[in-house]
Amino acid sequence: MDDTFFGIVNSGLLYLLVGIVIVFVVLLSLLFAKKAWNRALELGYTKAQLKKVIKSTSIATIVPSLAIVIGLFALAPVLGNAWPWLRLSVIGSVTYELMAADMASSSMGVALTDLPTVGIDAFVNIMFVMTVGISAGMFVLLFFGEKIQKGIGSMGKNRKSFGVVALECFMIGLLATFLPAFFTKGVVSVLTFFTSSVITITMGLIVLKYNIKWLKDFILAFALIGGMASSVLWTGLLG
């Protein structure tokens, strides 16, 4: 067995364990899709209508996944193929996984790109951070998801209520939590962040002004691609 860093993170055993989880999730998804199909037929929908829904939702699902593929390309060179494949296929978020991996490596005093030189212990620590952090939300939703959804829905009905302000404050607080991670890594990181922000805001304004609803699905992908491309530009100009 190859006991080097990449030999372990790309080992057959890890691929097998990851594959088992992904196959289970796929089978579970197919089961629920089958139940949803049968229930829709019971409610009176025709097969033609359901096929039209499947076609439109498939397109809406594939387009945002471009950002996930980009995230996979970003993580694979330092974390191997198997682990990012699992994290971005099942419960992970592309923005969360990239940031969690980077923050975990920084806490160990090493850049994410230098992780292979540290050893497999650092990889295990990153696996732990990436898994435990986001799993908390899964358990919260399992027990309190319905109550939270109803509460947020009732708050948003009245535009004059404090609920609207509370939701906006939540998003601002979320943004403020992630901002320090960008602003403490140097000028290139800050400029990359602002470049991605400009791309996101610009595309959002285009969607609103010209009512191009399909463009919303591309915003995250373009922001990631533009941000990555700009990081190369800023590094070349300032490096």
In the prediction, which pLDDT does 223 show?
85
* Whether the model pTM is above 0.95: no
Mean pLDDT by 10 residues, the chain (239 residues): 82 92 92 94 92 79 74 86 88 77 84 83 88 81 83 66 71 77 80 91 92 81 83 84
In the prediction, which pLDDT does 163 show?
65
CB 227 within 8 A of CB 208: no
Largest CA distance in the chain: 64
CB 214 within 8 A of CB 136: no
Q: Which residues fall within 8 angstroms of residue 118, CB to CB, at 6 or more apart?
A: 108, 110
Alpha helices in 45-161, H assignment, sequence order: 47-62, 65-79, 82-89, 94-107, 115-118, 120-157
| Residue 166 structure tokens | 């509370």
DSSP state of 19: H
Question: What Rg do the C-alpha atoms of the chain give, in angstroms?
Answer: 21
Return the H-helix or E-strand segment holding 166: helix 162-183
Q: Say how many Å lie between the first and final Cα of the chain, rounded.
A: 40
